[in-house]
A and B are shown apart, each in its own frame.
Chain A
Amino acid sequence: MHDIKHISKGLVPHGVSACAGCGMELIIRNVMDVLGEDTIIVIPPGCSALFSGYGEETALKIPGFQGNLENTAACAAGIRAALNAKGNTHTTVVGFAGDGATVDIGLQSLSGAIERRDKILYICYDNEAYMNTGIQGSSSTPFMASTTTTPTGKRTGRKDLMQIVIAHDIPYAATASIHNLTDLRRKVQKAKETDGPSLLHIHTPCPTGWRYDPSKTIELAKAAVQTGCWVLYEYENEKVTINSKPKELKPLEDYIKIQGRFKGLSAEQRQELQEYTKTSYEKYIKKLESMA
């Protein structure tokens, strides 16, 4: 179907113009590796649009469609309906959107698709701001993080996408992180096999937007889990399983000191953020344990 100009190992070429050290690039490579060729992808505008290509060039070997920012899930549901009408039940339809296109702009279409029980796999890579347009704050931006629209730090916490989709009684939903690729790939496989809508919320460090050295991407993803800023869990058969629960949280300083977006915080603010993270983590774990 495609004119192959450059040879690559998987379904994604090696030279994609994502920033050096981009977490999203690592995610799409692993996701495509698990899903295989029998997949149709829907990508909204954003960083992930790099993979739907420029002009006549594409960066994916599978068929795909670039919709609008607000209707990724609706486009995927439409493709699913067309496939069903043709009697095709084996092809996976996947929506691959960032946090802005999921928790802010695309939330209504995602909600609709889950409510209709369309069999789609929705992947939200969460880099915690609108990175492609110039680091504007989204509702997934964490407390006190600086972006171009919240230069002195965001005053409110983040929106909890997982609890929103769990409220829709979704068949399968999970959070993942790029430092644990085995766990990530297992969750993609599980989501693919789910009969009905499934969602993966993947934490994605972004060197450009978070302003850190690109080599620290994996280290930061790991630190986020160890400091309690990100919780790995999955929701299946109306039950929550917590995948990683550190015995003792590491000091938050491990996570925030190398990030430029937390640089402007004073010592008191850092202390406040540490307490906020700790209390919200403990509250969240308690809530998840009550759902187990």
Chain B
Amino acid sequence: MKKMQKQQENLSNKSKKCRVLGPVANVYAAANTGSWRLERPEVDFEACIKCGTCEKYCPANVISIIKDKVECIEIDFDYCKGCGICANECPKKCISMVPERRES
């Protein structure tokens, strides 16, 4: 194993940082997809039954349910794309999509 690594190092002596050949992605990063959003989901916390349907079906996995809080649904708006699946699938219809507008 050691021998193999050394050989690779010699071949790619230009990039000492990662001992690999060819283009390799090694930075685990996320794009700021929240900027795509045209509509924002808004939750009526009183009507929510904390069933977890929105959490399960969210394609971006940005919804978390916190059962012991009054504001039981937390949405990460850095990444929410505003697709509206949560609002469409909610059995109690307690999520509504409100347009994102800049107050001016």
A-side residues, CB < 8 A to B, are: 1-6, 8-10, 12-18, 20-23, 25-26, 29, 52-61, 181, 207, 213-219
Contacts and interface: CB of A to CB of B under 8 A. Distances in A.
Nearest to B57: A218
Interface centre among B26, B62, B85 (most CB of A within 10 A): B85
B21 interface: no
Interface of B: 23-34, 36, 56-62, 64, 76, 78-79, 81-85, 87-89, 97
A154 B64 CA distance: 42
A215 B85 CA distance: 4
B68 to A, nearest CB: 19
Given A8-B30, A215-B85, A14 B25 contact: no
A14 B30 contact: yes
Given A6-B29, A56-B25, 16 more contacts: A2-B26, A5-B30, A8-B30, A9-B61, A10-B61, A13-B30, A16-B60, A20-B36, A21-B59, A29-B61, A53-B25, A58-B27, A58-B29, A214-B83, A216-B88, A217-B59
A133 B44 CA distance: 40
A14 B60 contact: yes
B32 A14 contact: no
Nearest to A6: B30
Contacts of A207: 83
A16 B26 CA distance: 16
Contact of A58 (B25, B56, B88): B25
Contacts of B83: 20-21, 207, 214-215, 217
B61 A21 contact: no
Contact of A219 (B32, B82, B88): B88
Q: Which applies to chain A's interface (DSSP): helix, strand, loop or mixed? A: loop
Nearest to A2: B28
Nearest to A24: B59
A215 B36 CA distance: 15
Given A2-B27, A58-B25, A21 B84 contact: yes
A218 B32 CA distance: 24
A53 B24 CA distance: 9
Nearest to A5: B29
Contacts of B29: 5-6, 13, 57-59
Interface centre among B26, B58, B60 (most CB of A within 10 A): B60
Contacts of A52: 25
Contacts of B60: 14-16, 25
A15 B25 contact: no
A71 to B, nearest CB: 17
B36 to A, nearest CB: 6
B56 A181 contact: yes
A16 B33 contact: yes
A56 B26 contact: yes
A218 B85 contact: yes
Contact of B27 (A8, A16, A57, A215): A57
